[in-house]
Structure 1
């Protein structure tokens, strides 16, 4: 392959620019240069890596001025961390204002490496600014006030800066947080600094088995995040910054569903099936660096709505903390399988005996 494939250092974060680095290997074909982060000792790639990098690869094929505004991806096979991802971009359409790309992602480690079955596939739309166009009108809106995060969650945020909250765990479940072994073998989350807010005072205690629909509808999780930058930052690439938002939007998403169901001490099987992100407003809203050149804080506000048949939905809104502006809406469809013994104990009314499974 000629180019060295770089593993993660593990004991320290790396910049997002370095994490997303790509090598062009052919016409509209790109290869990752840095290994994906594994959420645990299973050595499977974090799904947000391939999701974000697929868009970033596609952005290399669009004209200057086009920035992603919507993406939907489907997770087909688990990703490995010891071999590069290959991104094959298809130019679906090039228009004056919008252009469309699809991306199929492959790895040589898969049995399906004959080229017929990708491990991930996605379609995304890019948009050029319409400022200066005679049809353009300067309007924008959002259905919540700018002060929503501060006012709604003042009980858990008051007196704390984003950096005062603890780093988000590799897997947001109590069985993980209580295991010193799992913490010690998991590399530091690269590219983006992510800090989880303790929402106990806001959410209260969840009832096991998802039996309290009102409590589930109120349940929320906040995650503050910002870029890890290179020492010498290059010119801002808005598609790279958009990729950082995409990357973080998948962070610990399905564990929220497990927590709302009261199974946070149970080892459940979780897997993303599809993930959609819609960016709102102007492309410059996606910029994660302030005028002073320092990384800006954003926050993801997450919840779940409905679920059944071993599937649940994860929703979130991404906010610019400084300006009180919603920059994106996300929805994810995920597999959530609770061990049958835990479910049976709840059905029989013995909620107290639901225990953590062993890895």
Structure 2
């Protein structure tokens, strides 16, 4: 990923795909490979899940006809993703229609790393087509996604009160003044970042995401806990590629999502294990309302998130995605593995990040164990 002084990677570059030969004797399937390593917050080698989620849909989008834009995605995370090897996407054509079509995507990694992610600069770390020839491991992610054409509506769509109206006092006018979203939205990470000698955190690629602090949040009623994030892509996105615009929302939708559950339940510092199990997104709007306009400026999109239920070592994360114009663009539902650690030595989530930051030189030896 990007070093401290590197410019942020654009979203279009981050989603780059390399077409691969189709599987032998398997018609109706197409294959692609990621070119750019995915983001890892602490250098521990486990990839940000939003990358494979968004890029799987982008791979599927390469196989549909003109005018077909994603409207529905159901994904399942079955194994951790890694940053030192590419994702190989196999897209299967499930149905073809005049108005709708569906695709099934399965994703695997090569069993062996492509390179040592601890060495060199980002520009030197691009995956090569030769990686595709290596033995592939088990499926790490799969999804079914549906695409549709715009249609003339026979009734007017409806939505509730807009996010900016409901959160006027919190959002105010300071869209660009919010702090960058933390790599890990946990109290221990925030304390480390605000310390007198904070470690060097990797730059989150693709999107500029800001966290909005909500002072009224308490853990007395987890269902009332809310999280607001503002985001926009680095670099402009071609209006001729609406599916790429939609993928930016998919990429943002997974950012720090499960931490809302542990924070709302009051054990953000005591997470044992955490990981996405499934993630679904439904887009509600026509193509023109999906597009990010311009490059930068004040065109901030908003994700409004909460957790309605938890239990059995799992929790639900839900969110609405709003455009700068106040349109409810998409709804998301995510189920995740979230377990509380009863002892400090069982806080695997924190210890994993700490070990990664220590190994990559972002955390001095004397600081180890101080998170």
With structure 1 as the length reference, what TM-score do the two structures score? Answer: 0.82
* Consecutive unaligned residues in structure 2, runs of 5 or more: 23-29, 114-133, 345-368
Paired position in structure 2 for 1:175: 188
Q: Deviations over 1:205-250 (max 9, x none)?
A: 32xxxxx4xx2221111000001115xx644411001000000000
Q: 2:63 pairs with 48, 55, 61, which one?
A: 61
Structure 2 residue 202 is the aligned partner of structure 1 residue 198:
no
Q: How far apart in 2 are the matches of 1:330 and 1:265?
A: 26
Structure 2 CA distance for aligned equivalents of residues 48 and 22 of structure 1: 16
Answer yes or no: is 1:312 the counterpart of 2:328: no
Q: Is the 8 A contact 2:228 2:305 kept in 1?
A: yes
Deviations 1:136-192 (A, max 9, x none): 4252111x123xx2332233223x321111100001011111124996343111101
Normalised TM-score (structure 2): 0.80
Asked whether the equivalents of residues 70 and 276 of structure 1 are also in contact (C-alpha less than 8 Å), the reply is yes
Shift in Å, 1:263: 1.1
Residues 127, 86 of structure 1: CA spacing in aligned structure 2 closer, same or farther, 3 A cutoff?
same
Indicate the SS of the match to 1:118. Answer: strand
Is the alpha carbon distance of 1:234 and 1:150 closer, same or farther for their aligned partners in structure 2, counting shifts above 3 Å?
closer
2:263 to 259, 262, 276: 259
Give the secondary structure class of the aligned counterpart of 1:175: helix
- 1:122 maps to what in 2? 143
Which of 241, 244, 269 aligns to 1:240? It is 244
Correspondence for 1:229: 235
Q: CA deviation at 1:109?
A: 2.9
The residue matched to 2:83 in structure 1 has which SS? coil
Contact 2:93–2:103 (8 Å) recurs in 1:
yes
Q: Distance in 2 between matches of 1:67 and 1:151?
A: 29
In the alignment, does 2:145 pair up with 1:139?
no
Out of 17, 24, 28, the position equivalent to 2:19 is 24
Partners of 1:228 and 1:295 within 8 A in 2 = no
Q: 1:288 to 1:268 in 2, by over 3 A?
A: farther
- The correspondence for 1:44, drawn from 43, 46, 57, is 46
Equivalent residue number for residue 300 of structure 1: 303
What is the alpha-carbon distance in structure 2 between the residues aligned to residue 171 and residue 23 of structure 1?
A: 30
**Cα distance in structure 2, aligned partners of 1:190 and 1:196:** 16
Change (3 A) 1:254 1:324: same
Shift in alpha-carbon separation, 1:40–1:105, aligned structure 2, 3 A: same
Instruction: Say yes or no: does 1:155 pair with 2:166.
Output: no
1:115-135 deviation per Cα after TM superposition (whole angstroms, max 9, x unaligned): 57211000000001123xxxx
CA distance in 2 between counterparts of 1:33 and 1:295 reads 30
CA deviations 1:267-308 (Å, max 9, x no partner) are 432100000000002122110124x88672110000001111
Q: Contact 2:109/2:137 (CA < 8 Å) preserved in 1?
A: no
Say which of 267, 276, 284 aligns to 1:280.
Answer: 284
Query: Structure 1, unaligned stretches of length 5 or more?
Result: 1-6, 207-211, 343-356
8 A contact 1:300–1:316 mirrored in 2? yes
